[in-house]
Structure 1
Amino acid sequence: MAESKKKDLLADAKNFCDGLSNVFMLKKRDPQTRHLLEKAKLLIENLISENQRATSNVTSTPRGSRSAGGMGQLWVKLDELKRENEELRKHAGKPVDDRPSIPPKPSQGPGDVIIADLHKTKRENEALKAKLEKLETKIKEMDSVALSVQDEYKRAKVALETTQRSMETVLKDYRHMEDDLKLAKKESESLKQKLAKTMLPIGRTDNRLAENISEKCRPSNIAQLYNTLESQEWVDAKETLEEITDFEEEDIVQFLCACVMASFQSCKEVYNALKATIAELIRKPTLVVNDTLVGERNGKSKLPDDMTDIIGHQLRQHFDDIDSDVIVGMMCEKLTLEFTEFVQRHPHENKVVQKFMNRCAKVTWQMVIQHPPMWLSVDDHEFDDEKHKLWWSCDQAAANRIDFFVWPALYDYKRGNLLMKGCVFAS
């Protein structure tokens, strides 16, 4: 009876060993499984060899009596779980053979190792399933975000196409406007040329409304000349008078300012005399043969407005032909009463001072022949920062009353718009 049991046990062991060999052939790519199969096969072969050599009864372990069929079912179950584990790992994006090879403990048998591996595989399987569910949820969220982004992209694309069409329309309109502007400029230039060629002005010309840019002699250009007169010829004349005379600086600057005003008054007299003479000639043409023609101005005659405009236009065309020496002579006569000592020394004979006086005559003549005439003023008595600038030696904080003008203020007409501030000495 004992021999029969031993033979059955040896047969079971051989069958189990053969089953392990078959499983080994199937699972040879898995390092952990290969290790377990090799260990189990070695143990069974050692047990068989010990039973063949031993003469005494060998006590078998409770687990050794398990049939090869029961162990095969465990191997099949383990194989299914591992395949499922591998599929989950593929879905999770992890490599299949990333688990470390853990050798079995020496005290455990092959069945215990297989059962432990089975439980471990189940746990990994559950963890991978949970991770897979999270990934699927995240993929769904990403899909919804992608759909919203696609919708937004479609809307943005439609808006961009609409904007491009609008921009093309605007560009076309802009090109049409450019063409219209060029055409308008050409028409404007042609009209300006026609107006410049017209000798008789249409209606009354008034520089308070608009300047005639075809005329060189116009208020804006005159203001620039007046500024240059102050910054160049006036400075040279002042320095020269300081060198050739022993007068104080205050007396010199007052004299130069008086020169400008005397030139302005003289030019007005010449212009008014010209208009009165022409008016008298029209009334009495035979006076042209009379040498006392200039004296025949009794104020009874006055030129019509349209004729005054024509004369002013012609004078502005030939403004540079004025004989400035005659006006300088008139200036000296006016200055004799107030600046007798200066005039007695004949400052106009000095080349620098003479240049200043002649420039004053030419610039103020251009002021007078405007319509209406421009205006120089030295009539203010109270300092006003908007109309006056202080002489360098004055105290800005204490400036109140104007003692004298160093340089007259320039207006586009009497009581009109200020073009240049007057320089004053104020205390």
Structure 2
Amino acid sequence: MTEDVKSIGKRKKHDIISDLEVNGTFKWLHWLDRNITPVLEKSMPPDPKFTESSQSTLSPIEIAKSIWERNQRIIRERQDLLVINNNHSREIADLEFIIKKSEEMEKVRMKISNLRTRCSDMKGEIESLKNYLTKTTEEVKSLKKSLKITTEEKDYWINRMSCIAGKQLRDNNPEITDLSDPNRPLKLADKFSELYDNQWTNAIEYLQKSKQMSEELAIQHLSTLAKECYTFCSKKACSQLQHLQRIVFMAAGDGVTSRPDDTKEPTISTTKFVAEMKTLKDTRKECAYLAEQYLIKDLLPVLLKPTGGEHQDAIMTEYISECIALCWTMVVQDPPVELYWPQSEKGSTIDRDKFNLYTKSGTRLNHVVWPALQLYNHGPLLKKGVVQAL
């Protein structure tokens, strides 16, 4: 009896546990039923452990366990599929990126091709522009040359008309001086003073020491040479101007005296040749340096001969050559610059306005050492001379 009660209790307890397990299993199955999508249900392969033949022989727990294992397998397969899907998505993205890059590369190639075509076209344009620039440059050079020629012609005629008017004003008018002339009277006065300070001083020392001349005799000798240089150059200048006048104006058949005096400048009978005469005088003055060497060559032997052999002395040659060159430049001025030698007798009063004293003080004249320089004959004083007092 007791055993029957115990067996009945055990059986009831087993039944209670089985009922609890069955209820829990059905709840879990209900949850699975709600969370498993119909698609997955359709794609679920049949579980070999759970068939209709075996379903009747399995307990609910085994059935639930089999279903749970099946679901776990499905979940793993789903995760594997998600991984595969992600990999495929990345591969697709990479392929799309490569395709996009290929499209961009194709666009870049097209741009490069277009740029090359444009560069080729621009090279042609540049070459055309170079040719145009070269042609334009040549035209500009030609125009500049024409402009220069035209400007020079205009300046020439303006200067010529100005010169003609200026020459008429300056003809034989020493009060108007060309400041651009390096041989204008004031400059000649400076050169005349330098001749006295340098070459004349060297020459007088040479004559006193080498030729045993007294100071007064040496001074007179050098003064005589200076006078002869000036007289010779003055005559040559008059003769030259007469010759130029005859050549130029005789062709016109009028305006020149038939036989001009050798000691006077040629005269013009009318005033219509005043500008032309001034042109001749200016031309002679501008070309004066060309005649210096010929004058020195002609006159130097004549002036050195009386002293005997002095042509070999460099000091006397330099003095006489400088005298000739300076006197020639003086006489071709318009009017000629004048050397002033006083006509006073020995013992006459010294004109201190025109002469400085040499080595002695006094008021009475002994002899002239160096002449004064005048702007023209009886004109203003340019440079004082030097005299020796008694």
Normalization by structure 2: what TM-score?
0.49
Larger radius of gyration: 2
